[in-house]
């Protein structure tokens, strides 16, 4: 469903080009959950943003269901079925949770359907449906609403950029449950999660390790995971909780 | 009731959300004259003897009733100043909807200056909604200079929604309020300017009685080459609570001057102000675009939400 061919991305840094992604090749099949891990600064978030169209590659090609989407805008990619969950969910003054879910679903959304998305991410719909997506919500609440907006899109491909970032441990435990349930119901879609949490790596079908802008390893979980345990690429949520 | 033409009907829809003649008391003013009036057992509306405006008297204990006083101007070159005084008795709970729509297709300026005074009796609650709207593509300007004066007596409260979203070329809004013992005022202002429009919005709320409180929140957007001055001042003269907030978005070449201010005359006056001006955040646009909206649609959703 998704294929990256020789994708490179560089930025201007103090007058000199700095390469963030180097000649990346990656294929993701239908009904697969791929977790991309690797050290901080290795280019993981950039890869996620390149797939969503927020950044355009300096060179290379991106194919989605056989179509070359390299030059398509964020909106066009969204309309073709690519969803993206932000690492830092965006806040909106005045836009309610219901409104955001309505926009995400692309149609007039009944309160009961909106509520079903919120229930899936473990929020009591009644308490949240009319709340503004603003600074009054906690990091964990925003994260779950972010995931609910992605669920409401019913996308072919969903990309999560470090979903565990900025949330507390209790919320993290619940987040894992949400991903486990999404994995079970994956059907005609695929997911990419950028993460170095071992519990997320554990539910992957495939794991790719990205370091210094290059894919160092890519294979099935069984193949890759054992070699990652105890490294920066597979961290426990908290060592003391072991 | 005088028959309204299509333009006047449209203006009324914009400013009062009215499609038909409302229930309850109302006073319609169209092109400088009375177009219709209704009074009820509890709400009386009478013209001032000198013809300068109307007096609205609401009897003690009036609950769940409403007064609509829309004004429409569709004749180019008309300038008027109208004085409307509201006397709300004790222990009432009423909704007052005012609004002015101007359509100016001509070359002369049209202007409506409404001076509204509210005297709210003890333990009464008033919800006041005021909408201003302009349309028409003539060279003549559409000018609205509303003045609102509020006196809240002991234990009363008033919620005010002041909305001006579109089409008014020049506005100088001035609101002065005096808040008595245990009384509460909450104001939500929504303002959007575009083109070459200029708007100034000045509030002075005096917290005079013990345990009085005020919450003034202004959200505004300045687009194109428009200019706004927002001056929100709370004066605390007793143990009281006051909060004032200006939250603004600028787009294109818009300019906003936000001046929230506080003046404390008492050591137990707890007063807070906040102000923020910024553009629409890039991340907000990107998030909505990842949900399938175009950049333009995303911008509209953000603006609609902000001004909701």
Mean pLDDT by 10 residues, chain B (308 residues): 71 68 82 88 94 93 92 84 95 91 81 92 95 80 90 97 84 95 96 91 97 96 94 96 95 94 96 93 95 94 90
Is residue A168 in a domain? yes
Closest residue, chain A, to B301 (C-alpha): A95
Residue A75 and residue B294: Cβ atoms within 8 Å?
Answer: yes
Residue A223 has pLDDT above 60, yes or no: yes
* Contacts B286 to A, Cβ<8 Å: 54, 74, 90
CATH number of residue A213's parent domain: 3.40.50.300
Phi and psi angles of residue B169, each rounded to the nearest 5 degrees, phi first: -70, -40
The residue segments making up the domain with residue A174 are 2-89+155-235
Query: In sequence order, which residues have a C-beta less than 8 Å from that of residue B267 and are 6 or more positions away?
Result: none
Structure tokens, B134: 């302009």
> Is A84 a member of any domain?
yes
d(CA B262, CA B70): 34
Residue of A nearest to B306 (CA): A94
A118 within domain boundaries: no
- pLDDT at residue number B139: 76
- Chain A residue with CA closest to B307: the answer is A94
Tens-place pLDDT, residues B3-17: 677 777 777 777 766
Q: How many CB pairs under 8 A join A and B?
A: 61
Contact residues on chain A for B189, CB-CB shorter than 8 A: none
Check pLDDT > 80 for residue A133: yes
Q: What is the dihedral of CA B72, B76, B78, B83, to 10 degrees?
A: 20
Nearest to B58 by CA among B39, B84, B76: B39
Count of CB atoms situated within 10 Å of the CB of B169: 22
pLDDT at A135 over 80: yes
Token pair in block for residue B30: 């169209």
Range scoring the smallest mean pLDDT among A90-99, A178-187, B59-68, B81-90: A178-187
Cross-chain residue pair A95–B305, CB shorter than 8 Å = yes
- The C-alpha atoms of residue A142 and residue B161 are separated, in whole angstroms, by 29
Minimum CA–CA partner of B291 in chain A: A104
Cβ–Cβ below 8 Å for A95 and B287: no
B286 backbone dihedrals φ, ψ, rounded to 5°: -65, -45
A47 phi, psi to nearest 5 deg: -60, -45
| Domain coordinates in residue numbering, chain B | 6-282
Residue contact A74–B281, C-beta within 8 A? no
Per-residue pLDDT tens over the stretch B245-281: 999 999 999 999 999 999 999 999 999 999 999 999 9
Q: How far apart are CA B146 and CA B240, in angstroms?
A: 28
Q: Which residues of B touch A149 (CB under 8 A)?
A: 291
B283·A86 Cβ contact <8 A:
yes
- The secondary structure of residue B231, as a DSSP letter, is E
Higher-scoring residue by pLDDT: B281, A126: B281
Residue A13 has pLDDT above 90, yes or no: no
pLDDT band of residue A242 (cuts 50, 70, 90) is very low
Residue indicated by tokens 């830092």: A88
Is residue A102 a part of any domain in this protein? no
Pairing of strands A82-85, A157-161: parallel
pLDDT tens for each residue of A143-168: 889 999 998 998 999 999 998 887 77
Identity of the residue in A54, A88, A104 whose CB atom sits nearest the CB atom of B291? A104
- Supply the pLDDT for residue B185: 98
Nearest alpha carbon to residue B215 among B191, B245, B239, B192 = B245
Measured in residues, chain B has a length of 308
**For A77-98, what is the mean pLDDT?**
93
B contacts of A161 (beta carbons < 8 Å): none
CB A84 within 8 A of CB A54: yes
pLDDT of A237 reads: 63
Residues of A with CB under 8 A from a CB of B: 52, 54, 73-75, 78-79, 83-84, 86, 88-90, 92-96, 99-100, 103-104, 106, 149, 153
ipTM: 0.92
Domain count, chain A: 1
DSSP letters, A69-113, are: -TT--HHHHHHHTEEEE-SSPPP-SS-BHHHHHHHHHTSPPPHHH
């Amino acid at each position: 469903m998704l294929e990256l061919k020789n994708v490179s991305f560089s930025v201007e840094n103090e007058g000199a080009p700095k390469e963030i992604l180097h000649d990346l090749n990656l294929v993701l099949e239908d009904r697969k959950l791929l977790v991309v891990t690797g050290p901080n600064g290795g280019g993981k978030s950039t890869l996620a943003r390149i797939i969503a169209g927020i950044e355009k590659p300096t060179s290379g090609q991106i194919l989605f269901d056989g179509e070359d989407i390299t030059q398509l805008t964020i909106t066009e990619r969204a309309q073709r079925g690519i969803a993206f969950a932000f690492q830092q969910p965006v806040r909106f003054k005045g836009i309610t949770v219901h409104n955001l879910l309505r926009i995400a679903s692309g149609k007039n959304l009944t309160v009961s359907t909106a509520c079903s998305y919120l229930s899936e991410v473990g929020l009591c719909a009644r308490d949240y449906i009319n709340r503004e997506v603003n600074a009054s919500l906690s990091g964990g609440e925003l994260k779950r609403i972010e995931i609910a907006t992605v669920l409401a899109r019913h996308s072919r491909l969903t990309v999560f950029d470090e979903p565990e970032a900025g949330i507390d441990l209790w919320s993290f435990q619940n987040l894992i449950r949400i991903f486990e349930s999404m994995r079970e119901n994956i059907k005609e879609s695929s997911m990419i999660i950028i993460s170095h949490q071992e519990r997320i790596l554990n539910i992957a079908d495939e794991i790719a390790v990205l370091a210094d802008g290059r894919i160092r390893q890519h294979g099935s979980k069984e193949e890759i995971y054992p070699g990652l345990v105890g490294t920066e690429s597979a961290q426990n949520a908290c060592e003391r909780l072991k | 009731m005088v028959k309204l033409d299509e333009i006047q009907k449209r203006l009324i829809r914009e400013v009062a959300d009215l499609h038909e003649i409302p229930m309850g008391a109302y006073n319609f003013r169209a092109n400088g004259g009375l177009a219709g009036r209704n009074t009820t057992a509890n709400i009386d509306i009478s013209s001032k003897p000198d013809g300068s405006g109307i007096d609205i008297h609401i009897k003690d204990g009036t609950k769940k009733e409403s007064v609509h006083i829309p004004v429409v101007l569709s004749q180019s070159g008309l300038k008027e100043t109208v004085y409307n005084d509201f006397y709300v008795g004790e222990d009432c709970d009423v909704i007052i909807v005012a609004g002015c729509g101007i359509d100016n297709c001509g070359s002369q300026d049209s202007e409506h200056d409404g001076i509204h005074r509210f005297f709210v009796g003890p333990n009464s609650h008033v919800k006041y909604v005021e909408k201003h709207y302009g349309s028409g593509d003539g060279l003549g300007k559409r000018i609205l200079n509303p003045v609102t004066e509020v006196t809240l007596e002991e234990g009363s409260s008033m919620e005010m929604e002041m909305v001006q979203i579109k089409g008014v070329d020049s506005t100088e809004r001035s609101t002065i309020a005096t808040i008595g013992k245990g009384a509460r005022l909450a104001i939500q202002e929504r303002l959007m300017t575009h083109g070459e429009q200029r708007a100034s919005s000045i509030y002075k709320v005096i917290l005079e009685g013990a345990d009085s409180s005020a919450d003034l929140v202004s959200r505004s957007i300045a687009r194109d080459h428009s200019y706004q001055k927002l001056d929100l001042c709370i004066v605390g003269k007793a143990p009281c609570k006051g909060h004032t907030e200006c939250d603004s978005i600028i787009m294109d070449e818009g300019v906003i001057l936000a001046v929230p201010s506080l003046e404390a005359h008492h050591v137990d006056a707890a007063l807070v102000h906040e102000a923020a001006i910024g553009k629409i955040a890039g991340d907000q646009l990107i998030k909505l675009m990842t949900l399938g909206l175009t950049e333009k649609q995303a911008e509209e959703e953000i603006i609609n939400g902000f001004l909701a």
